[in-house]
Each structure stands twice: as structure tokens, then as C-alpha cells.
Amino acid sequence: MGATSWTKELYDKLPGNTSVVGLDFTSKTPYSFSEETTKLGYILNRRDEAEDYLDSFLYKYINAIKAKTEGLADAEKPSVYVESSFGNYKAYGGNGSGAQTYIEMAGGINIFQDSPLYFEADPEAVVTSNPDIIIKQLRDDVGYPANDFSIMNKAREEILNRPELVDVKAVKEGRVYIIDEGLSYGFSYPIAVAYMAKWLNPELFEDLDPQAMHQEFIDKYCPGLNFDVYRNGTFAYPPLSENSTAD
């Protein structure tokens, strides 16, 4: 069921004269995300909290990342292939996709930036594009509920061992990364961008710590959630911290 039909079905079940505000909190356009965050603050009478999140977290980190990548020439930017959680070669193109936005912020070039928002890529097109970096999203058995990195490790090994990708630069150099898809949506998305910035341009972001950002996000903006990202959950692989529970 698509998002539109799901929303209509829910709306049809509401009592008459019910006021409804639809906010999707996608980061395809940073302005719209910020605008919707402000709207939610007004609706819930939490304007101060909304403004604090935008100023002290989202703008703070996103602007710092963009300040280091906006001056890069195209020749300095790594090429990136992002594969979705829905299967092999289920890819993200340009045309406003979240992946496209994140890649641009992190200082890279999407190998499928001229393709539809979401599509099934021809493996040969990936091989021909020869990306510097491959990023795979996962949604099942990862993130907050997970206890070890076995699922992410398995997904990474599967990509590294695809026969058709054996000569692709990302595979040959081991620059294949796995990320929890959940980080890419909603208020946590600056964390996903930070991981990508570290992967795409490590020399520019030696001091950027996505795990510290994540812990800050939980401690400050997720009241009631007692969670240590250094000891629990699986959000990105290979892990950045030696304290992680990687297998």
C-alpha cells in the first residue's frame, strides 16, 4: 500500500470535522524539513524545543558538514552507489531522493543522479560507473533492537563477493558500508549524513563523530530513552568505535 492510499484510508476512518495536518519530515529539501519541524512545534506547543533542535543539532551539524564539502570540485568528489534495503540493485537516483541530498551534502556524486528517484539498476551500469564507494541500507534486524553486527557484516560480505562487482573500485578497496535505514528518516537524518561524510571524505572529517552525535540526539531529544549507542544497537558497519560490539 502506498503512502497516499494509506493516508486516505486512515483519514476516512476519522470522525467528521476532524482537522488533519500532514507532515512527512522527509529531508529531500532541507528547507521543507525545517519548516515542518517548526510547524510541529507550534501544533504541540513545543516551539522552544523545535527551535533548539533546529539550531543546536540540525543546523549545527549539517551546516558544518556543508561548509567543508561545498567548495569541493567535482573531480575531488568520490562517486557513490547507494542501494536500498528492498533488494540487490534497488537503487536511488536523483530527482529529489533523500540519498541524492545526503550524497551532495557529504561531498560526493551519485552515479545515478540522472536516473529516476527509485528504480532497479542494471548491474552492468554499476560496473561501468565504477563507484568509489558503495552504501547499502538495511531495515530488518538492525538499529536499536540489534545486539551484534552479524546482519550488517553478512550484507557487506554479500556485496564484496558479488562476482560482477569484483573489479569495481569500491569493492577492490573495501569501501563498502552498511547503514541502518532508520537513521535516514526524520529527526535523526543528520547522523546518517555524518556517517556518509566520514565515509566519503574521511580526510575532511577526522574530528566528526557520528556516534557522539547520535548519543547527543538520544540524550537531549529522546526523553525517556535510556540507550548507549556505544554498547548497544547496530547503526553503521564497519563500526567506527573499537568499543562497538562488532563480531
Q: Give me the CATH number covering residue 110.
A: 3.40.50.1980
Give tens-digit pLDDT for 81-105.
Answer: 999 999 999 999 987 788 999 999 9
Question: Could you list the residue range(s) of the whole structural domain that residue 206 is in?
Answer: 74-237
Q: Indicate whether 7 belongs to any domain.
A: no
Q: Indicate whether 145 belongs to any domain.
A: yes
Looking at 54-58, 167-171, 176-180, 234-238, which range is the least confident one? Answer: 54-58
Q: Indicate whether 126 belongs to any domain.
A: yes
Indicate if the pLDDT at residue 243 is higher than 50: no
The model's pTM is 0.86
pLDDT at 25: 56
Which candidate, 165, 157, 188, 180, places its Cα nearest to that of 81?
A: 165
Q: Indicate whether 37 belongs to any domain.
A: no
pLDDT at 58: 94
Indicate if the pLDDT at residue 141 is higher than 80: yes
- For the chain, what percentages of helix, strand and coil (3-state, to nearest 5) are there? 45, 10, 40
Query: Does residue 80 sit in helix, strand or coil?
Result: strand
Indicate if the pLDDT at residue 7 is higher than 90: no
pLDDT at 197: 98
Overall domain count for the chain: 1
Show the cell assigned to 160: 564484496
Q: Indicate whether 1 belongs to any domain.
A: no
